[in-house]
Amino acid sequence: MPLQGWRARAQWEHYRYMTTAAEDRLLVLLRHAEAVDLRGAGDLERELTDAGVRDAEAAGQWLHEHGVGIDEVLCSSSTRTQQTAEGVWSGGCAEADVHVDRRLYNASPEAILDVVRDADEDANVVMVIAHAPGLPALASLLADGQGSIAAHEAMGNGFPTTGLALLRFSGRWRDLDFGDAVLDRFHIARG
């Protein structure tokens, strides 16, 4: 894409999401980046691989290029999710308030939703950085087939590490429930 066309698209995406955030809510679900396989060591302490760091930075760059600014981050207590957040900031996405929450570690979709319901009501754009299978299941349950057909098809092919689902809904965080959101985009960030 020519630079001028890229800039115009980025400006449009920024306007579109900033307008959406002012009227509605945007939930960004990010599966952590690729982590090392530590056989015999604790899963909670697994760190990102070099490729995982690059992928997390690519996720931040993609969010920045699409004008998605994050107001609050709800992050699992694992090392790999916290390192993913750091990579997102290094990639260009503006830093936001990060709340590390143990309830997100290997959580069910219902448990993740409970954490999202506790999000700051002043935050219009919330990002959750967590794990499979809970996070991908939550994305499916929240959108329940509503939204972009292309995004649903892409997400249906799998929700790998640094997969990003952008879901939109109207209302208060504490009232969010399954079937209330619309899946706008799904992207797999690779660096």
pLDDT reported for residue 23: 57
* CA 150 to chain centroid: 18
CA 101 – CA 98 distance, rounded (Å): 9
The more confident residue out of 102 and 16 is: 102
Residue 12 has pLDDT above 90, yes or no: no
Distance CA 69, CA 99 (A): 16
Give the H/E segment covering residue 126.
Answer: strand 125-130
29-82 tens-digit pLDDT: 999 999 998 776 688 999 999 999 999 999 999 999 999 999 999 999 999 999
Averaged pLDDT score across all residues of the chain: 90
Percent of the chain scored above 90 by pLDDT?
81
Q: Structural domain tally of the chain?
A: 1
* Burial (Cβ within 10 Å: 0-12, 13-18, ≥19) of residue 40: exposed
Helix 79-90, helix 50-65: angle, nearest 10: 50
Q: Could you tell me the residue range of the domain that residue 8 belongs to?
A: 3-188
- CATH code of 25's domain: 3.40.50.1240
